[in-house]
Amino acid sequence: MSRRLLGLALIFPALAVIVFLFILPLIMSAVGAFQVESAFGWGNFVKTFDLYTKDIVFSVVIISLSTVLIGIASIAIGGYLTLGEHPVAVAILRWLYRWPMFIPFIVVGQILRTFLAKNGMMNNTFINLGLLTPIDAQSFLDWRGIVIAFVWKQTPFVTLLVAGAMASLNRETIDAARNLGASKLRVLIEIVVPQVAMTLTVGLILSFVTMMSVLSVPLMINAQSPTMLTADIAFRVNSYGDYGVANALGLVSLVLASSVAWIYLRASLKERA
């Protein structure tokens, strides 16, 4: 009896943290989304879709595009680490690719602001090289900047997972395909990637959810309309004190994030069956 109490006592702090700092605020925020001046109703959602449908679509498109690009980049890097035959190049890549993981999003935003602006480092370099005239220089500080920031920051994380899974594959399955005449690219696409598909999916979903919640990048790079949902939530709360619409926007993000998690759960159940 006393042992059972002790056990409960031991997990109580963790449980309390989850209940009071996570579940309760989540429920309150969900309830708050349906509260309009102390009555329940759809008002916040009507307002959300009136004002922010464009931003919802913008967020989904940007994050989906980034996810696809992150997937391609991580397969390419992981594939080279697994199949590359130049040991020095492989070692350099292995050392290099992880760095962006240790840089906070806000710093990524700052770096890319100075890099992608109309008179930023990228355009200056092109102009100095004679590849671009100053008149043709354009700013990338719009949706493209957000995509570049996300891909740059999230690719190493997904690559880390994917390259780990590729490294633990049975090498003989790769040799068997080469033995039958498969090119490196075919080995990568037809043999390696299908075997790490589950890990790749998990990495991309975690990445998708992370990008859904990033505020600093859209604020730093693209503080105009349309923008990401996170920027809208911050704006609703900070400028208007309008927690109702902010909660509704939050709930929309939650539904978007859960829908990809649901895809993952379904795939993993199917694999186990």
Three-state DSSP state, 91? helix
Cβ–Cβ < 8 Å for 174, 119: no
Would you say 122 or 182 has its CB closer to other proteins? 182
- The residue written with tokens 């109309």 in the block is 118
d(CA 154, CA 157): 5
Number of residues that bind other proteins (CB under 8 A): 17
Pair type for strands 39-40 and 35-36: antiparallel
> By CB under 8 A, is residue 90 in contact with other proteins?
no
Three-state DSSP state, 110? helix
Find the binder of other proteins among 180, 255, 269, 273 (CB under 8 A). 180
Per DSSP, what are the bridge partners of residue 36?
Answer: 39
Find the binder of other proteins among 30, 90, 103, 197 (CB under 8 A). 197
Would you say 136 or 190 has its CB closer to other proteins? 190
* Phi, psi of 58, deg, nearest 5: -55, -50
Cα–Cα distances (Å) from 154 to 128, 147, 185, in that order, read 31, 10, 24
> By CB under 8 A, is residue 269 in contact with other proteins?
no
Would you say 88 or 129 has its CB closer to other proteins? 88
Contacts of 160 by beta carbon, 8 Å cutoff, 6+ apart = 98, 101
* Residue among 126, 121, 102 nearest 111 (CA): 121
> By CB under 8 A, is residue 186 in contact with other proteins?
yes
CB-facing half-sphere around the CA of 179: CA atoms within 13 A: 6
Would you say 36 or 198 has its CB closer to other proteins? 198
Cβ–Cβ < 8 Å for 32, 243: yes
Query: Radius of gyration over alpha carbons of the chain, in Å?
Result: 23
> By CB under 8 A, is residue 177 in contact with other proteins?
yes
Would you say 181 or 241 has its CB closer to other proteins? 181
Taking the complex as a whole, the smallest distance from the CB of residue 172 to other proteins amounts, in Å, to: 4
> By CB under 8 A, is residue 182 in contact with other proteins?
yes
> By CB under 8 A, is residue 110 in contact with other proteins?
no
| Sole window of 8-16, 28-36, 132-140, 191-199 interacting with other proteins (rule: CB under 8 A) | 191-199
> By CB under 8 A, is residue 173 in contact with other proteins?
yes
> By CB under 8 A, is residue 175 in contact with other proteins?
yes
Taking the complex as a whole, the smallest distance from the CB of residue 94 to other proteins amounts, in Å, to: 20
Find the binder of other proteins among 170, 241, 270, 273 (CB under 8 A). 170
Would you say 94 or 184 has its CB closer to other proteins? 184
Burial degree of 3 (CB within 10 A; 0-12, 13-18, 19+): exposed
Find the binder of other proteins among 179, 239, 269, 270 (CB under 8 A). 179
* Residues at the contact surface with other proteins, assessed by CB under 8 A: 170, 172-173, 175-182, 186, 190-191, 194-195, 197
